[in-house]
């Protein structure tokens, strides 16, 4: 079978030594098994993320994403743009839709790109997709199951979807309040999914975890508590910000609320990599602050 080719937008969290470097490692291992080839967009830049919305201004925000789209058209023509980061996906997808909706914005954007030395046509026709969409829609659950070597038997997962892959666009065919795709992925590779986990789409606080830590930590506490309530062994998420916020503040939350949280927070790609027979390193499990021991056990078998 020929490899499926995608134009890949990794985003800043996937950089070496960044918070989701291990996400990247596991995505690479997962794609290897699924016969997916990710062609990185050369010289890609920041999506603007939260700052783009706060102080960055409309035009700069869209120009930043348009630049990535333009580079993708130039270097990886006719390939769908795929992001692993929820914020990158959301930002790029929003800019793409806004550029399609406004000729003025498109003209302004092209002018700015020209000033920056990128005199391009900017067709803006490339679909912008999250890696989970590629898995669900292009590979399919049957296809996800195919390379499985070690089912994740006996591990109970709370599938935490978060907000950015869920609103406003969401994944086609999924409910906004109770999306099921993570649960289905978990079950596909032999794990146990808590299908009625009630904090699936609760906000983790996003960038406010830095600026408003008390408020964000209330959110995070709820997300973790609900997972424990239903007997989850670990949390799984498609978003680097969700992963980080829910994982790294557990110590602080324990101090504030006198709790004893110590629950691993993993990426779907780590689950799949382990299920496909990858080792701890390939699954990036060594990059988790709270180690996912149950997954590590399976990975080392």
Q: Which of 57, 119, 176, 210 binds other proteins (CB under 8 A)?
A: 176
Q: Which is nearer to other proteins, 152 or 226 (CB)?
A: 226
CA torsion sign, 295 to 244 to 139 to 197? Answer: positive
Q: Which runs of E-coded beta strand occur in the chain?
A: 4-9, 36-40, 81-83, 128-130, 156-159, 192-193, 234-237, 265-267
Q: Which is nearer to other proteins, 137 or 229 (CB)?
A: 229
Q: How far apart are CA 241 and CA 190, in angstroms?
A: 26
Q: Which is nearer to other proteins, 5 or 230 (CB)?
A: 230
Contacts of 186 (CB under 8 A, 6+ apart): 152, 157, 159, 192, 193, 236, 271
State the pairing for strand pair 81-83/36-40.
Answer: unpaired
Contacts of 113 (CB under 8 A, 6+ apart): 63, 66, 67, 70, 119, 120, 122
Q: How far apart are CA 285 and CA 293, in angstroms?
A: 9
**Spatial contact of 245 and 204, defined as CB atoms under 8 Å apart:** yes
Q: Which of 178, 254, 256, 259 binds other proteins (CB under 8 A)?
A: 178
Give min distance, CB of 176 to other proteins, in A: 6
| Total binding residues toward other proteins, as defined by CB under 8 A | 7
DSSP state of 135: I
Q: Which stretch binds other proteins (CB under 8 A): 76-84, 173-181, 206-214, 231-239?
A: 173-181
Q: Which is nearer to other proteins, 229 or 286 (CB)?
A: 229
User: Using the rule CB under 8 A, is 175 a contact of other proteins?
Assistant: yes
Give min distance, CB of 173 to other proteins, in A: 13
Q: How far apart are CA 138 and CA 140, in angstroms?
A: 6
* Phi and psi torsions of 82, nearest 5°: -120, 130
Task: Report the site for other proteins in 71-130 (rule: CB under 8 A).
Answer: none
Q: Give the per-residue contact string, 264-293, with other proteins (x = CB under 8 A; - = no).
A: ------------------------------
Q: Which is nearer to other proteins, 138 or 198 (CB)?
A: 198
User: Using the rule CB under 8 A, is 229 a contact of other proteins?
Assistant: yes
Q: Give the per-residue contact string, 184-213, with other proteins (x = CB under 8 A; - = no).
A: ------------x-x---------------
Q: Which is nearer to other proteins, 170 or 277 (CB)?
A: 170
Q: Which residues bind other proteins (CB under 8 A)?
A: 175-178, 196, 198, 229
């Amino acid at each position: 079978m020929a490899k499926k080719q995608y134009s890949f937008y990794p985003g800043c969290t996937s950089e070496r030594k960044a918070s989701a470097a291990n996400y990247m490692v596991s995505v690479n291992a997962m794609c290897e098994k699924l016969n997916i080839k990710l062609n990185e967009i050369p010289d890609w830049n920041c999506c603007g993320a939260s700052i783009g919305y706060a102080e960055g201004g409309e035009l700069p925000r869209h120009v930043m994403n348009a630049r990535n789209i333009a580079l993708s058209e130039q270097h990886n023509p006719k390939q769908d743009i795929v992001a692993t980061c929820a914020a990158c996906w959301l930002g790029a997808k929003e800019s793409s839709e806004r550029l399609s909706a406004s000729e003025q914005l498109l003209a302004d954007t092209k002018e700015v790109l020209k000033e920056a030395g990128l005199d391009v046509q900017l067709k803006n026709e490339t679909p912008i997709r999250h890696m989970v969409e590629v898995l669900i829609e292009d590979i399919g659950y049957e296809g996800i199951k195919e390379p499985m070597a070690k089912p994740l038997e006996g591990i109970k997962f709370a599938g935490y979807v978060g907000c950015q892959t869920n609103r406003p666009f969401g994944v086609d065919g999924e409910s906004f309040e109770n999306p099921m795709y993570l649960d289905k992925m978990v079950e596909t590779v032999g794990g146990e999914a808590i299908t009625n986990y009630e904090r699936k789409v609760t906000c983790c606080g996003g960038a406010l975890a830095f600026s408003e830590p008390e408020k964000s930590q209330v959110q995070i506490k709820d997300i973790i508590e609900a997972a424990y309530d239903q007997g989850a062994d670990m949390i799984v998420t498609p978003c680097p910000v969700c992963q980080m916020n829910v994982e790294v503040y557990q110590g602080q939350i324990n101090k504030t609320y006198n709790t004893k949280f110590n629950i691993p927070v993993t990426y779907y790609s780590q689950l799949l990599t382990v299920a496909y027979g990858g080792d701890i390193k390939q699954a990036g499990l060594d990059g988790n602050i709270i180690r996912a021991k149950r997954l590590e056990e399976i990975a080392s078998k």
